[in-house]
Amino acid sequence: MDGDEKIKILVVDDRPENLTALSETLDDPDCEVITALSGEQALKEVLRAEFAVILLDVQMPGLDGFETASLIRKRRKSRSIPIIFVTAINKEDQYVYKGYTLGAVDYLFKPFDIDILRSKVAVFVELFRKNRQIKAQARLIQESERRERARQVAEVQRRGERRYQNLADLVPQLVWIVTRDLRFEYVNQRTLSYFQLDGERIAGLILEEVVHHEDLDGKKGAWREALLAGAELSVEVRLRRGRDGGFRWHLVHIQPEHDARGRVRAWLGVATDIDDQRRVAEALAAEKERLSVTLRSIGDGVITTDTAGRVVLLNRAAEQLTGWTQEEAAGRPLAEVFVVREVPYVREAVNMDGAAATGGGPDHQAVLIGRDRREWAVATGIAPIRDANGQVQGTAVVFRDVTDAQRLEEERQKASKLESVGLLAGAIAHDFNNILTAIMGNISLAKLYTSAGEQVFDRLEEAERAALWAKDLTQQLLTFSKGGAPVKRPIEIGSVVRDSAEFASRGSNILCEVSVNAHIIVEADEGQIRQVVHNLVLNAQQAMPEGGRVWVSIDEVRRVACDGYGLAPGRYAEVVCRDEGVGITKENQARIFDPYFTTKLKGSGLGLATSYSIVRKHNGIITVESEPGQGAAFRILLPASDMRLPSLVDPVGRVRRGHGRILIMDDESFIRDVLGRLFTHFGYEVGYAKDGAEALAAYKHAIEEGRPYHVVIMDLVIPGGMGGREAVRKLLEFDPKARAIVSSGYSNDPIMANYRHYGFCEAVSKPYRNEELRTIVQKVLAP
């Protein structure tokens, strides 16, 4: 190579304007700047010429800078060419680390100081020039040997070596040459300073003595393989600083130096201190991991974006609610992942880029539409992410699932509405049912004086049926009242639902198909459950005025966790009533369980409200799913029971006569009168009392006369006097074997549901039919 030939510098960048700018910056009369627009072109240039240094852009299409550097390093002729990476994008530590791993001597970030660039390039140009001079001098030495000028050539060599060492002393890396057995032969001044040794003491030191034993044990295999193969090696190890000092991480690059026969004569090594970079990278990684663990463990959903509004991070809660995973959502617009409706502020903020988000706490209610189209009620807030200088770096969206809380609040509001109706019902129920009791009792008496088939008997039957309808209406209102409870007994829900559904559809223009898929016992008020099923079938019938089909199914389901309806985990009986009617709109679905709400001209608005109240008082839930024109499906869940059905007993049937003494306690004289006449007709002796005090006195007096009462029928509520609750307590104190039946026109009183707890043998709700009361008395009097 001609010593006057210009030194070549290779500049690689895919942007022509960058090549032009770098060429002008590095313009020097003694240098020639060769440009390449791609990694592929750069490789061709490296094959054609020898370069003092390569300025290599990292981010390029096709072969990027790292791939190009790797290929250059693989070629023996070009592997020692200094490479300086230049980039404007990949500034993270891992990229810098990767560049040094590939053998880069430096890593510059755009924009950079031109003087620094020129200085760095000048060092390698000068190093190349000196190296070329050394080679030229070597040729002179060979020529001098032939011309007996060995002394002059030797002087040139010594001068070249000194210059080489001087140049090596200028670089910030540790530079050394070790023999084949890894003993130090040459080190630069930086190495002497780091190891805190002088030239004589360094000569006997072995390279492996200054490497941390943990790194040596872990890397020893690679060291040995490189030594045996005569290959170069790049590895991160900790080097001891001084004989008794600490250790610092270095990126060590070692390559062999061969003799004329191709055998390894020595090893050339360069160690770059990366301890600070590693500590920063480890700290960043630890902080990132802590942040990641924190974000993934909290219950609120968190989504962060960059300044372009594209998703950067989703935590676990956000993945569950949106249906997107971190990998799927990364890089997508926030509005595509976080889809909301109903709240303009949130929707507008989501559609903005990261720099435009104004912020706000998680107090805005919205509806989040998941990837699977499921909807979640969320409380959300959006705020900008700012750096230490206050510059917006992105957006943070924090949102919380409040679906269950919202559902509970809706349930509470429904219950509150129903309770307001119950207050009105409770106020009139007692008096109204007392009147109905007298009416039904007198009808029963009148029927005793006529026979079936007679016109009067038929009229009385119709009158009794009308009174029962009035009773049902009152009972529907009472189901809304607070504090009351159904009179529960173990029932087989499947048979009750089947009988009720078939009865309700009998004679109509609908076909009701009942499927009992599981035989489940529940504790329930059978009459109320029949009323619920009747209401649902009737509702389906009204939704299909031209006729159609209704499907009713009974299954057993298990719930493993609490939900927004407040149901505890466990076994449940599931009753589903589905029709093919006109369906229910979303707006009406939120109101169909409200009292008096109806969309039908002839509807009372009490059927579904009653059903809702009954189911809730049985610790269950009732829900609806519907789309307009696609029918409706009502779903009921009732807690399953492990209790057994009571043994069947022979019904009283048509027993006409009885015996025994009955004490009737009621504040209404017409009720005492009608009951007295009924029981007298059936052969009983009857006594009367208008309140608890009279009943206790009469009971004691009867015992004293030796003619005790066998059963006492007590009205629960006596205005202005002692009612059944206190009276039965005092009665049992006097006679623990006394038998009492509680009766009330307000059947939702807690005592009516738990009558045995208060000392009663049975309970009967007003108004009652003659046969119902007579059966209960027969049961109590049975031995």
Its CATH class, for the domain covering 171-279, is: alpha beta
Answer whether 692's CB lies under 8 Å from 722's CB: yes
Q: Do domains 171-279 and 301-401 have the same CATH topology?
A: yes
**Total Cβ atoms within 10 A of residue 451:** 9
User: What count of other Cβ atoms lies within 10 Å of the Cβ of residue 180?
Assistant: 14
Note the pLDDT of residue 648.
Answer: 42
Pick the CATH number of 301-401 from 3.30.450.20, 3.90.960.10, 3.30.710.10, 3.60.20.30: 3.30.450.20
pLDDT category at 564 given cuts 50, 70, 90 is low
**Closest to 65 in 3D by CA, of 54, 75, 76, 57:** 57
Q: Which pLDDT score is estimated for 736?
A: 93
- Under CATH, which architecture does the 7-135 domain have? 3-Layer(aba) Sandwich (3.40)
Rounded to whole angstroms, the Cα distance separating 738 from 731 reads 7
**Dihedral over Cα of 597, 601, 604, 608: its sign:** negative
In contact, 447 and 761? CB cutoff 8 Å:
no
The whole-number pLDDT of residue 582 equals 87
Residue-wise pLDDT for 598-640, tens only, equals: 666 555 567 788 888 889 888 899 998 988 888 899 999 999 9
pLDDT higher than 60, residue 234: yes
3-class DSSP assignment, residue 431: helix
The average pLDDT across 187-210 equals 78
Task: Give the pLDDT of residue 711.
Answer: 95
Rg of the chain taking only CA atoms, in angstroms = 48
Rounded mean pLDDT, 545-573: 83
Q: Answer yes or no: is pLDDT of 702 > 80.
A: yes
Q: Is the pLDDT of residue 656 over 80?
A: no
Judge whether residue 361 has pLDDT over 60.
Answer: no
For 2-16, what is the mean pLDDT? 83
Torsions phi, psi of 304, nearest 5?
-115, 150
What architecture does CATH give domain 489-639? Answer: 2-Layer Sandwich (3.30)
- Per-residue pLDDT band for 348 (boundaries 50, 70, 90) equals low
Tokens representing 195? 């190891």
Which tokens go with 730?
Answer: 């005092």
Structure tokens at 203: 């000569």
Which amino acid, 285?
A: A
Q: Quick one: average pLDDT of 534-550?
A: 88
Point out the least confidently predicted range of 109-113, 208-212, 242-246, 436-440. 242-246
Residue type present at position 428? I
pLDDT greater than 70 at residue 108: yes
Mean pLDDT of 397-404: 82
75 pLDDT above the threshold of 50? yes
- When mean pLDDT is compared over 556-560, 591-595, 743-747, 759-763, the highest value belongs to 759-763
Average pLDDT, the chain: 81
Task: Tell me what pLDDT residue 312 has.
Answer: 87
Structure confidence by residue, pLDDT tens digits, 150-170 = 565 567 667 767 777 777 777
Top mean pLDDT of 165-169, 197-201, 338-342, 721-725 is at 721-725
Whole-number pLDDT of residue 481: 54
Please report, for the chain, the start and end positions of each structural domain, with discontinuous segments joined by +. Answer: 7-135, 171-279, 301-401, 489-639, 661-781
Span 11-34, average pLDDT: 88
Residue 209: pLDDT band with limits 50, 70, 90? confident
Residues forming a β-bridge with 240: 247
| pLDDT at 663 (0 to 100) | 95
Of the two residues 157 and 649, the one the predictor is more confident about is 157
- Give the model's pLDDT for residue 528: 84
CA distances from 343 to 2, 100, 268, 403, 404 (A): 77, 51, 68, 16, 19
pLDDT in tens, 669-699: 988 998 888 889 888 999 999 999 999 999 9
Report the share of the chain in percent with pLDDT over 90: 15
Rounded to whole angstroms, the Cα distance separating 197 from 181 reads 20
Q: Give the pLDDT confidence score for residue 655 in this predicted structure.
A: 40
Q: Which of 337, 174, 343, 164 is nearest to 248 (CA)?
A: 174
- pLDDT for position 342: 58
Lowest mean pLDDT among 93-107, 167-181, 356-370, 504-518: 356-370
Is CATH 3.40.50.2300 correct for 661-781? yes
Spatial distance between the Cα atoms of 684 and 697, rounded to a whole number of angstroms: 20
Residue 183 DSSP label: B
